[in-house]
Structure 1
Amino acid sequence: MKTKDMHRNDTTSLWRWICKRLISLAVGSIIIIAFLMWVRFYVENKWHEYRMPEDVRAELSVLIKHPEQNITRYHEIIDTWYGIAYSDPRMGVVDWMILGVLVLIFIPVIFWLTLRTARPVSLHISRLAHAARAVSEGGFGTKVPVPDTLPLELRSLSENFNGMSMQLERYEKDLKKSHVIMAHELRSPLTAAIGRLQGVIDGVFEPSETQLGMIMRQLNELNRLVDDLHLLKLADAAQLNLTLIPTDLGKIIREKVAWITPSANKSSVNITCHGAPGVTCMADPYRIGQVFLILMDNALKYAADGGILDISYEITEKDVSVVFRDHGPAVSDEFLEDIFTPFVREDLSRTRHSGGSGLGLSIARAICHAHGGNIAVEKNRNRGLTFRVTLLRN
């Protein structure tokens, strides 16, 4: 937490980071060279003063402050003890030689300090390049260290790269897992249909209406799975076509409740609708009805023990929410985070009178997102879950 706070407070950009170090290096070098030149003249001056007799030194100190008192004597002392060339305003050969030596000494020092300053940045960019190459070759999850001494842009770039790499690793694991589950889900009805059909061909089963009906049910289940997977892929690619028109959500709810009531009676579930909002929103009636039917069917399958499914509305100026609240056994907090993930089911938490492929809630979320809305779930205070479908009114 301390490191994150420090990163948040450090706003040094890459440009400022480079400029600050290069300017500091240049100014520092000039100051050191000027200081050494000053030391050279200071030492030489002290040496000449040291060689003077005491009375001449005292006389010169007075004339330095007031040379107009005896300008001739002032130049006489300077020429005698400092040399005639001392009064020459031009830089002497020795001065140029000293300056040249200092420059020659400081050039490699400046180069060394510059390389030393740029080395961490160059090294980190090389690490990023190697990590990016590893990710491009399939090494998802590859990370680079993020030193605190780097400028803000490089730290941010590195942290975003690490986040992207970890996200790709999670996507890859989820994709492999979903492929395995998908193959299993598709194979089950297909194997059952092939086995039953092969039995009819081999004469094990009579080609009766019952046998053919069993085969047809397996093929219908397979077809439903393929349609559901196709819908999810269309939604992921933002290609799910919707016919958005002003839609009365209350009317659709009543239609779906009437449709599912026979199944609810068999499961001893009482569906109650609260309020008559009469509020319309821009939605695809077929697709949004599909969402409502999925949530009702989900409650009958996994929350029938609660005996009640409450449907209510929450309305604001911007959106309208349809709330489905059951009173059956809830799910674990860990599963709640993945409840909308395709093929995810928690068999231990809720009674599995009917299985399903685990795609229903994923489809509901995909349809809601395609509408520009949202679907959320939370655990009730006592028992059960609450699903909230939120759609924009305009």
Structure 2
Amino acid sequence: MRKLSLKLGIIFFITLFCIETFMMFFLHTSLTNSRVEEELTSLQARGNSHRTILERNFDKETLAHIVLMESEEDTDVVITNISGTILASSNPHPEIKDYINQLENTVPYNGEILQRHWQNEKYIATISPIQKQQRTVGYVFMFQNTVSIHALMERLNKHFLIVGFVSGLVTIAVIIVLSRKLAHPLIQMKEATMKMSNGDFSVTLSSNGRDELSDLAIAIQHLSDELNHLRQDRKDFLSSIAHELRTPLTFIKGYADILYKRNLTEQDRQKYLGIIIEETNRLSHLIRELFELAKMDENSFIIEKECLQLNEFLENIRGKLSPAFQEKQLHFNVHCEEGLTLMADAARLEQILMNLLKNALSYCSSGDVISVIAKRQDDLVSILVKDTGKGIPKKDLPHIFERFYRVEKSRSRSLGGVGLGLSIVKELVQAHGGEITAQSKENKGTTFILTFKGVKKYENNTTH
């Protein structure tokens, strides 16, 4: 936490420090130049004011009056004639001769600034020409000591230092708060991912905001829930496999020991051998279904689609299963729209329907009706497998496609499989790009609805 918040704090501080330094420098320079320009403008205006008075009365009394006025101020005045002779002065300024020598032929009537470099000079200076009848007869030189400007700049610098220090403290405080606020959820997410990497998926992250951090927290929380669910599924899956494998192996081992250790009659011997063969077949069927599921999970099985004529396809299935239905005295019906086609893998679609129909065969009693109905709905093909058997309880219906889920937990082994058939059916339907749903009421029957996309072209399509 310290490292992340420190890095964020340093980045924020450097960024804000650069911005504030630039702004303070710009503001300081602007204020300094503005204040100096104000002083120069004021000095120039004062010189122009004296010039205006002298243009009216250019005599000794007026000169003495102006000198007297400036002697009471922080500014100095020097009045010369056109040839540079000093007529009056409030304070001697030796550099006046240099300024007079540097004068150009004409000075603007509004005057001009002679010296503005207050940093390195003792005085700033301006000049205003005195004119009589459009002819220059003298000059008014104004001087102001730069000590006052330096004092003003020192006060300004002091204020800027105080403001900079306070703003720096406020900036640091804000950065500390913001960096911790930003770092805290990231640290929580880091700790959550560390817990998840160690196998602990009991993660709870807050997602109160609507920003990217909240989206990330929601995603991590969702991942944690999914991993926890997968871990529980794996645990249940392995437990179910162990149970399903142990049961037939126990039967096989037990009856094999009986056959090996005891002298049995031929009738008992055949009976026990039949049980061993039955359990072996059951074990072989379980392993085959597990192998099918493993291939589906790895997407290593192939769906080779072709255009199937459903009427002919369903009649072929009726022919294969009719003896089993007749033996149990069940009515088996097939209804298919004329000319209805579907792009599907023939072997896999047969496996789907066989699983559903064998399921119905197990849960129907004498006199019940089992129907397969195929029809087109817009651009979809629906295949319904209906029966009037025992039905599925409402509480079990949402779970029937889960692996190893059994509706009747205590049913006899002869009544059904191991709870993988419907899981395989769902995987195969989804591999075809279709969907499967179930509707059921206890003692009234069950309907499985398979929905596939219809056929637009008669062409083969291979899907991995």
Give 1:390 deviation, angstroms. Answer: 2.1
User: Quick check: 355-364 or 272-281, which moved more?
Assistant: 272-281
Give 1:199 deviation, angstroms. Answer: 1.0
Alignment correspondent of 1:181: 240
Give 1:33 deviation, angstroms. Answer: 8.1
Alignment correspondent of 1:201: 260
Cα distance in 2 for partners of 1:349, 1:333 equals 18
Cα distance in 1 for partners of 2:280, 2:443 equals 41
Q: How does 1:232-381 map to 2 (within 5 A)?
A: 232-304=293-365, 307-316=368-377, 318-347=379-408, 354-379=415-440
Give 1:384 deviation, angstroms. Answer: 2.4
Cα distance in 2 for partners of 1:350, 1:308 equals 23
Cα distance in 2 for partners of 1:306, 1:153 equals 62
TM-score (norm 2): 0.64
Cα distance in 2 for partners of 1:250, 1:92 equals 101
Q: 1:85 to 1:285 in 2, by over 3 A?
A: same
Q: How does 1:151-170 map to 2 (within 5 A)?
A: 152-170=211-229
Between Structure 1 and Structure 2, the one with more strand by share is: 2
Alignment correspondent of 2:123: none
Listed one character per residue, the Cα deviations across residues 155-213 of structure 1 (whole Å, up to 9, x for unaligned) are 01101111110111111112111211111111111111111111111125457444333
Number of equivalences: 345
Listed one character per residue, the Cα deviations across residues 338-376 of structure 1 (whole Å, up to 9, x for unaligned) are 110111111189999712211111111111122222221
| 2:311 and 2:337 in contact (8 A); partners too | yes
RMSD, aligned CA: 4.0
Alignment correspondent of 2:162: 101
Listed one character per residue, the Cα deviations across residues 318-341 of structure 1 (whole Å, up to 9, x for unaligned) are 431211122234323332111101
Alignment correspondent of 1:5: none
TM-score (norm 1): 0.74
Structure 1 unaligned segments of length 5 or more: list them: 1-17, 38-63
Cα distance in 2 for partners of 1:361, 1:306 equals 25
2:279 aligned with 1:218: yes
**2:419 alignment partner, SS class:** coil
**2:343 alignment partner, SS class:** strand
User: Quick check: 164-173 or 298-307, which moved more?
Assistant: 298-307
User: Quick check: 203-212 or 330-339, which moved more?
Assistant: 203-212
Cα distance in 1 for partners of 2:243, 2:281 equals 16
**2:303 alignment partner, SS class:** coil
| 1:329 and 1:350 in contact (8 A); partners too | no
Cα distance in 1 for partners of 2:366, 2:155 equals 102
| 2:308 and 2:346 in contact (8 A); partners too | yes
The amino acid of 1:258's aligned partner reads G
Identity of aligned residues (%): 25
Give 1:75 deviation, angstroms. Answer: 9.9
User: Quick check: 345-354 or 120-129, which moved more?
Assistant: 345-354
User: Quick check: 115-124 or 325-334, which moved more?
Assistant: 325-334
User: Quick check: 132-141 or 257-266, which moved more?
Assistant: 257-266
Listed one character per residue, the Cα deviations across residues 90-117 of structure 1 (whole Å, up to 9, x for unaligned) are 9611211220222122213202201211
Cα distance in 2 for partners of 1:315, 1:321 equals 6
The amino acid of 2:361's aligned partner reads L
Alignment correspondent of 2:249: 190
| 1:146 and 1:155 in contact (8 A); partners too | yes
Cα distance in 2 for partners of 1:204, 1:178 equals 40
The amino acid of 2:276's aligned partner reads I
The amino acid of 1:169's aligned partner reads N
Cα distance in 1 for partners of 2:161, 2:367 equals 93
User: Quick check: 359-368 or 378-387, which moved more?
Assistant: 378-387
Cα distance in 2 for partners of 1:93, 1:252 equals 101
Q: 1:334 to 1:71 in 2, by over 3 A?
A: farther
Listed one character per residue, the Cα deviations across residues 295-322 of structure 1 (whole Å, up to 9, x for unaligned) are 1111121244781222212314543121
Listed one character per residue, the Cα deviations across residues 57-100 of structure 1 (whole Å, up to 9, x for unaligned) are xxxxxxx9xx89x95699999969xx976985996112112202
User: Quick check: 90-99 or 358-367, which moved more?
Assistant: 90-99
